[in-house]
Chain A
């Protein structure tokens, strides 16, 4: 403010501002100012070594009294190596050392014995070994030998005690996995894609499908798997609704897909998509071309897409233990052949292009029920004995096309049993305890479900038995 006061109001160079501008200018300058905290408080003050001599604190702790820090030294240099500095009488290592000696002595001699503590660490925070300061070894030979022995013990103990805490812990861990609060009406319907989540972990299912928790991130530079899949589905859905649905020539299909993709991309990303997204789109373009080839061939082979069922919301009622339960879902496409009957197909855009068996069953266990549940979905509309499969559009174009599942009646029977298990669990509100199996890669829920926690089974048991521990969320 004094600076401002010194401005010459008559000078031409002094800017003219309105009163409000002057106020905001002043405030702006003031908010950016930092002032040291007033001394004399009870807080421990942290100062640099070079400021120590001027501090009158009665007790001082000098940390980092290690070679290279106190004193620091510089040897190699492009123009002024240390010996040249000395020759030119420029500040050199010797002078730095002398200054450190002086300051250390000031600190030590202006306080009663025992009021200054010197810390020289053996290791840095990263575990790298450190060297004691020359200052500490500039002493008589007996003291020096003792100090070296203290700093470099013969056998460094393998059992370093854990670093002490500065605050006392309460004693019991209160960070639990919040148990489901079952105050919702019972769930009576479920999408076919959600069964997988319940099989994997009922608790995660609860977080994801009952509470509908989700995360946000705005730092993506390109489409993730979900966005990529959705864009592809959008374009293919448009194809399914178009007049080209039965075309036997790849050309027009390709053209249609290409145009649709261009339109969708403009709607989604505007005219200036990020470069990585543009590359992705160009590559998706190639995958769609491959689709056009395969689609035309399917048409030539006599397969027809049921246009009336394209992305139609289907639902079927499963009566279990005398109670109805609704299974809902959409099937990407239903293909029909005059000889071979029906195919219920799902578009898959993952890079690997895994087969249905690989994605649905692992270790002899059903992990996903999506395709088998398609059979449940189409029952009410009179389709039975349909084949199940993926229309894959993977990274390797050679592997694109329809991949059918090879489950026999027995396997499908097991899948239906799993379906019933899930329905019973969901209906009865069985969402606890969390599964002991955790996803291989931590996901957004891993923090809540304590996937990597030490002694997780005990934590789950504690979370389950604590009456206070119910997760609140919905407000009524």
Chain B
């Protein structure tokens, strides 16, 4: 059924209701009768996908409740809700990875995928461990022969600029991680070997040139006073030194050679004479050749390493049945989806067959984060929809180019433009009205981004691409307007007090320091956050959230540390590690001790914590025994049960927070055990301890202060946002330069290890650098935009002071603070603010209660046992047979040891088998078919008597009848030898008689017989009870007899 807006591309701003529009579009499709399985909506996080689905269902539900009935032929909401809830399993609202996973399953064999691949994150410890193995395998392979090993060493040296790092594994890991993405995109050698070094002089030529260069000293241009010109002297000397030392770095970046290199003939306002020019050009050519060769070698070495590594790594992944999330898109893009055309209907039909649905409606959320691989997989669907203009198929693309912060993960914002190419009929729309933020916050956003290009910070003669990137960025920016114009809000831009540290902030992170010292800036930030928390969350009202957003993880850790020290309840996104909690740390020490009883750190910790009592450690020398016991316990019960038992025993020594962390520990142990069920390594304490220490646990108590990187904050919103890390310089040093002329096209060149000073030696390098820098800048702007737009009501920007401790100004440089100072003003003179700091309104005095200062006072409820067990379990009845009941469950030793018992048992079975076939006899003669055994049996009057009718013609007979009946807490299961009973006209039993045959070799009137009767009595009683249940007959109406066939004695019981 055709519908309007069948193809729509929306460029939305932050908080403009992207999800709302997407949901509405989805509903609209349903109303027009699109079957759920024909709609595919993809986004990037499971959280977002869940949110979309939830909104869909909830909206339908609200409409159904309100009785919304649209005009025909649209479907009414109630009917839709019914359809949707019936087909929840067919709804294609998924993460793009999830959808690809489904696709991959369908093409498992073509793609050579493992049967049920386990998907892991690139950043997970599991992936790191796997890489470690792959690296060792690469090294081991090379180590088998000396030539290969030598080559490998050379390779590693070249990788590190001719130096050798101690930690081999880590150094290689660093490289393979950094180049994984580009190698995946461009694994072919050609892209890594585009440089061709030329103009190199051999040593003899260098010597000759050097001789001539020395002679030039006499012809250095002079000033009017006749003194040699300083710049010339310096340049001449520098070349001389460099040539002698063969140290060519940066030689053509400044001075005379720099001018000659770019083809100029003037230097220091003096023209360059011929001999100078000729020699300088030779040097330039040589330097260029040397440097290019070095870059080329390093790049080729990197490629070689990546190639070797990739082979082994892929084999390992296949062996373990593991896939990386990015693997799937790449396999699909390179596999059945490569080069597919719309005309290739057969191919699409195949895809639809295996998906078990034809995707005719495609909804793409957060489109700016789509990678080229992902786009290539989606293209067949897009093309098919794009080629249809009748509205029977639809395409809905929504995203925000201003929030494209996942470029490093492959996100390609330029794909926005290629959508139009594939779907020419697509209509475009933009959304700039914010449903999230106060206008005060939006005003600050507008002030910063409306005219980025004019920021003095971004002006640079050397790098005009910064300003150009800013201009391009601002061109796509529409001033933001708040939907709720009167919503009060507050923005403040302030700076921390000047400190010594500020002087060094220009250089990169100060890794050198061995310990965390509470730096003045971070302490100031923590203080600000504390005050903010106390202001926002005073009183009993709903807690207001504070998002503290940083650029890097390092700052997250430092701030978390600082906040916790101050007793503020803060949590990191993705959760916090629990190993920091003293109770958990003590358990981990025991876990480690189990692995290494000689680990005195672990032993001391165990001995001096409540764990000592739990594991029975009384003194140091118990370590060996304790470790052995734990290992035995773990071998028997596994880690999960062992840890859970410890936690229960430790509860009395804990406060609520400690115990809740211990509970998390027990859960993690459980998860560890189920994930590593097949690994014997997982029995090792160190392996478990490492897992626990690396794991992060989300705290459901939801601390109001959340510290995370800006990247992780995407898609979230907070009442107040604090940006404490504004002074870190933007990254302009790219370890690997990637030349991709068309942002959506293939990689054409890869260059590794290009020093800034050497970049100018080749136009390809300059081009690649400029492009990459512009791209990086755009992403920097996006990052700041995302950070600022997370705020609903208030935004707190805290920069470092522009002053050094000694009162001098410091240079701010290319960073967020620089841009903010340009656009919002200088915070050093005092706090700069907009809006109302008291936006949250007054707190009623009686409601005012002090905000808790430490997280330890949080009340953690204790679950009382509502399913408490009462009385004996009324389930799983144990089954007993009446014969088990004789002798009160005891068996006489004589029976067991009787060597004849086998024979006796056989005899018993034979007798029962014979008697089973006999209904009645006349009381005088044995039955017709008379075997000798039968004849001897029926020689006894008592036996003959047992086969005579007792209750006349209405008598019923059961022979060898099996039964199962409940008997108190048990199930009674057995077989009656012979039962006769009388029934009345209605078929109800009136009276019954039961006979049990015994083949014991006992003599009549013997004491033995009496003993046997006593032994069998409980069995017979059980038969009577069973019969009573089966015949619904009172016990009194049931008689029973034991018939000892050997002596021919009948005993009524």
Contact = CB atoms under 8 A, between A and B. Distances in A.
A432 B900 CA distance: 81
Contact of B81 (A126, A144, A170, A454): A144
A174 interface: yes
B360 interface: no
B168 A283 contact: yes
Interface in B494-541: 500, 512-518
A164 B859 CA distance: 9
A168 interface: yes
A17 interface: no
A40 to B, nearest CB: 5
A243 interface: no
A227 to B, nearest CB: 10
Contact of A169 (B166, B651, B863): B651
> Would you call the interface of chain A mostly helix, strand, loop, or mixed?
loop
Nearest to B582: A175
B340 interface: no
A128 B877 CA distance: 41
A272 B58 CA distance: 66
Contact of A159 (B81, B165, B561, B702): B702
A57 B58 contact: no
A68 interface: yes
A214 B601 contact: yes
A141 B609 contact: no
B605 interface: yes
A40 B869 CA distance: 12
B582 A172 contact: no
B610 A174 contact: yes
B578 to A, nearest CB: 10
A130 B50 contact: yes
B153 interface: yes
B602 interface: yes
B686 A219 contact: yes
Contacts of B659: 165, 167, 169
A169 B54 CA distance: 37
Given A78-B106, A473-B604, A173 B143 contact: no
Q: Which of B46, B50, B592 has the most CB of A within 10 A?
A: B50
A77 B106 contact: yes
A67 B610 CA distance: 43
Interface stretch (B83-91, B269-277, B283-291, B754-762): B83-91
Given A161-B701, A475-B619, A81 B143 contact: no
Interface in B846-868: 854-856, 858-863, 867
A132 B153 CA distance: 57
A283 B49 CA distance: 50
Nearest to A454: B564
B582 A165 contact: no
A55 B1023 CA distance: 27
A278 B150 CA distance: 11
Nearest to B867: A59
B567 A455 contact: yes
Contacts of B57: 148, 152
A78 B108 contact: yes
A333 B136 CA distance: 37
Nearest to A223: B166
Contact of B567 (A56, A76, A458): A458
Contact of A158 (B167, B169, B545): B545
A62 B516 CA distance: 49
Interface string B674-704: 0000000000001000000000001111101
Contacts of A354: 512
Interface stretch (B17-25, B349-357, B811-819): B349-357
Interface string A75-103: 11110011110000000010000000000
A83 B46 CA distance: 27
Interface stretch (B210-218, B430-438, B440-448, B583-591): B583-591
B600 interface: yes
Interface in A143-167: 144-145, 148-149, 152, 154, 158-167
A212 interface: yes
What's the interface size class on B, roughly?
Answer: 35 or more
Interface stretch (B155-163, B470-478, B982-990): B155-163
A163 B660 contact: yes
Contacts of A93: 89
Contacts of B356: 75-77, 81-84
Interface stretch (A7-15, A21-29, A375-383, A440-448): A440-448
B580 A452 contact: yes
Contacts, number: 375
B61 A363 contact: no
A364 B503 CA distance: 14
Interface string A126-145: 11111110100110010011
Q: Is the interface of B mostly helix, strand, loop or mixed?
A: helix
B581 interface: yes
B579 A440 contact: no
B833 interface: no
Given A275-B142, A453-B581, A174 B355 contact: no
B653 A170 contact: yes
Interface string B858-899: 111111000101001111111000000000000000000000
A362 B501 CA distance: 11
B295 to A, nearest CB: 18
Interface in A328-378: 349-352, 354, 358, 362-364, 367
Most buried by B among A131, A367, A394, A475: A131
Contact of A129 (B47, B81, B143, B602): B47
Nearest to B690: A219
B61 A167 contact: no
A228 B166 contact: yes
B316 interface: no
Contacts of A58: 874-875
A200 interface: yes
A352 B514 CA distance: 14
B598 interface: yes
Given A76-B355, A216-B599, A221-B169, A172 B143 contact: no
Interface in B630-672: 647-648, 651-660, 663, 667, 671
A98 B564 CA distance: 53
A276 B139 contact: yes
A287 interface: yes
29 contacts: A40-B873, A40-B875, A59-B867, A61-B867, A129-B49, A144-B61, A145-B64, A152-B55, A167-B651, A167-B659, A169-B658, A170-B655, A221-B169, A222-B167, A276-B168, A279-B152, A283-B153, A362-B513, A363-B500, A397-B162, A439-B514, A444-B601, A445-B601, A446-B585, A447-B589, A452-B564, A455-B564, A457-B565, A471-B608
Interface of A: 38-42, 44, 55-59, 61, 67-68, 71, 73, 75-78, 81-84, 93, 125-132, 134, 137-138, 141, 144-145, 148-149, 152, 154, 158-178, 200, 207, 211-219, 221-223, 225, 228, 274-276, 278-280, 282-284, 286-287, 349-352, 354, 358, 362-364, 367, 394-397, 436-440, 444-448, 450-459, 471-475
